[in-house]
Structure 1
């Protein structure tokens, strides 16, 4: 049998009989205070244990050469037509992609950024092999010169009005001029304006009739528009529903296209059936009702310095830099994966200073006002990217929670002799930020609790002993004075 007396001898906490102890008011007060202090310190320690602890390090970005970066954007250009708006991408490695359309959507908008129709689809544009009958022979004008004063009258008089909006300095306009005038002369002879009156070919010099061309949202030269009587007015705003011609530009193709337009038009209440002898189809599509365009979508680029450029582009048109305005509003411009509100909240929880630069350009506007001295202006944005990865170490294995890209943005207006563009120059940093969530040790938490309880209990005991002995000493002194 175990000798209990020997076992009791190792007791660290020897007991004093209760009848030998004495309770005091000072001790009771200190005990209550000590209990509140223990509870307060316990709450603080528990809160500290539950608080997320993170470590932040900066390391070299380990992205491979085959890794691509996604750029999501939603940009509104109140003065750039969807007809010519092009999204281009280039980088320092020589990659150059022009007029990206597969992952891009366009919507015509007005100057108040309100969408004016369904999604804009450019459709198939044939390769322009024939761009006019270039010859040194003399030719006479067959088309009618239109101005702001007579345009509406002609558009309401003829069932079909086909107009060539041109600029004398434009190479493509000069290539088109001979075939256009010859085709107009042929159409005038076949469909006399006075006897037949179903179709008329006209022309507008946009260097003279700038307001008229601006009213019809002409930004590239030459632009051939088809106006139909009875459907060319939209409410009372002066807007016109019309189509653009994108077919071949030689005389035969133009004449065949005009005959195709005339065929379904009645002449003096009789249907005229015309055969398309050339067997060539009319290539056209609706022209934008307004001069603005909203461009949204995404592109994938290599993780090297590069450019995303929004510009006016066409293989068969010329542009007047003074008439191109690339003012824009940014609704979204972000890199990497789209972050949900939950993911953004998680980033804020782990790193309160992170997340603000994920879409730094959102909500900003860059406006160039027409008629001011700052025309022919390119808007450039210089973006510096930093990749941030968040890891979790609560389990035995390190697990990546999410990754995001933040960037700084510096924008400027640059005067240019070329056609103005909106350029977003991005430069990924070779370094990346690692944010690691580090769990706190439960044993450390328990140790601190024991230290709190033991420390408060000991200090309270010392204070109680000092207070008790002091009171006894005072009583002895008072008792000695009375003796």
Structure 2
């Protein structure tokens, strides 16, 4: 029964065989066999390389993230502005303001040749101020000399007197007459660091809204909904030359994922592979004018990378344009030499990063051909090449036989 069944299966054999006696082998057929094998091997190798290659598909979708914060990592050098003058402030359209950020920003003093002064990590003159405050005792209450006092009602440091003057709208141009400033050696500190530079590095957390980060001289205050900058220590008349020439070593926007070392490394590799770089890296801008403003307009786009193993990495990229002008000659009038400058009325010397968050999310997804696709393509290559070669061989063989008969 089994024999009969197997014998019946022969009727559906789609691969009929011929015996060696009826096969005709020619040199042309041998040549075509070798050429076909070479073509099959070449095409199969190309298909295998294509199968192993990772491609990146890019898509744009609406960014639906809400309530997230971004971290801007910066490393900027100012060769001719002392550290006690550099203030890092953040303002955004939501009304949140961070003034004179010091908890996440590190300032290193640089000598006139740009070399870091050892043991000089600085966030202003705070160490000296705190030491003098301890010497005066807990019950000491200093005078504000007519300025607007803080909530405590006392101005125990030169900085507090300075703030009180600016809040009152007065010029703080004669610190020698202030007892707190004399005891702190405020003037001596200014003269000692007058020709130094400053390296500013660290991270600043910002909301995902329109805003700006500015590095400006002196302290900034807000009065009557206006941002006011106290420029007396910056616009000096004793020959010290201050200007906001700068070198941006690094400026990048990060998400929370970038704090993970492994994720940061993978993200950096992906950015390099896709050509997503840091547009402001190693940018140097130079001026000799003290009242000079640099503005950078950044368009920040949230970006995600999806790898083959299903991992998701979040980061940000940005494009930038920049604008610069001399405030003293720039059409809005000269900034008053008397100490106060209102941002938006006269302009302020410094470096301003105005950022805008795009509502678009860029998603880069790594893809690769499936193994089934590779097998299917290989079979198609083998079958197609052999079929075409067989047809060509049949035509050549038939033509040769016809010519032989005629001759």
TM-score, normalised to structure 2, is 0.74
TM-superposed CA distance for 1:459, in Å, is: 0.7
TM-superposed CA distance for 1:401, in Å, is: 3.1
Q: 1:392-411 to 2 correspondence within 5 Å?
A: 392=307, 394=308, 399-411=310-322
What CA distance in whole angstroms lies between the structure 2 residues aligned with 1:111 and 1:178? 30
TM-superposed CA distance for 1:303, in Å, is: 0.7
What CA distance in whole angstroms lies between the structure 1 residues aligned with 2:306 and 2:173? 60
What CA distance in whole angstroms lies between the structure 1 residues aligned with 2:77 and 2:70? 23
TM-superposed CA distance for 1:318, in Å, is: 2.5
TM-superposed CA distance for 1:19, in Å, is: 2.0
What CA distance in whole angstroms lies between the structure 2 residues aligned with 1:112 and 1:472? 92
Where does structure 2 lack aligned partners over 5 or more consecutive residues?
A: 134-140, 148-169, 221-229, 328-334, 336-340, 342-347
Per-residue CA deviations over 1:70-105 (Å, capped at 9, x if unaligned) read: 010000001111122111111110111111111111
Residue 460 of structure 1 pairs with residue 389 of structure 2 = yes
Please name the residue that 2:171 is paired with: 171
What CA distance in whole angstroms lies between the structure 1 residues aligned with 2:146 and 2:388? 106
Please name the residue that 1:422 is paired with: 351
Per-residue CA deviations over 1:295-339 (Å, capped at 9, x if unaligned) read: 111111111111111112248872454854111100010000367
From the two aligned structures, give the one with the greater helix fraction: 2
Please name the residue that 2:75 is paired with: 74
Q: 1:366-445 to 2 correspondence within 5 Å?
A: 366-370=285-289, 375-392=290-307, 394=308, 399-416=310-327, 417=335, 418=341, 419-445=348-374
The 8 Å contact of residues 88 and 308 in structure 1, kept in 2 or not, is answered as yes
1:365 to 280, 284, 302: 284
SS at match of 1:71: strand
What CA distance in whole angstroms lies between the structure 1 residues aligned with 2:105 and 2:394? 81
More moved, 72-81 vs 12-21: 12-21
SS at match of 1:173: coil
What CA distance in whole angstroms lies between the structure 2 residues aligned with 1:109 and 1:308? 23
SS at match of 2:9: helix
Please name the residue that 2:187 is paired with: 224
TM-score, normalised to structure 1, is 0.63
Please name the residue that 1:84 is paired with: 85
Please name the residue that 2:52 is paired with: 50
Please name the residue that 1:327 is paired with: 245
Per-residue CA deviations over 1:212-235 (Å, capped at 9, x if unaligned) read: xxxxxxxxxx9421xxxxxxxxxx
TM-superposed CA distance for 1:175, in Å, is: 6.8
What CA distance in whole angstroms lies between the structure 2 residues aligned with 1:129 and 1:306? 37
Please name the residue that 1:355 is paired with: 276
Please name the residue that 1:41 is paired with: 43
RMSD: 2.9
SS at match of 2:88: strand
CA spacing shift, 1:118–1:289, aligned 2, 3 Å = farther
CA spacing shift, 1:442–1:68, aligned 2, 3 Å = same
Please name the residue that 1:123 is paired with: 126
The 8 Å contact of residues 92 and 305 in structure 1, kept in 2 or not, is answered as yes
The 8 Å contact of residues 106 and 201 in structure 2, kept in 1 or not, is answered as yes
The 8 Å contact of residues 100 and 219 in structure 2, kept in 1 or not, is answered as no
CA spacing shift, 1:328–1:477, aligned 2, 3 Å = same
The 8 Å contact of residues 108 and 294 in structure 1, kept in 2 or not, is answered as yes
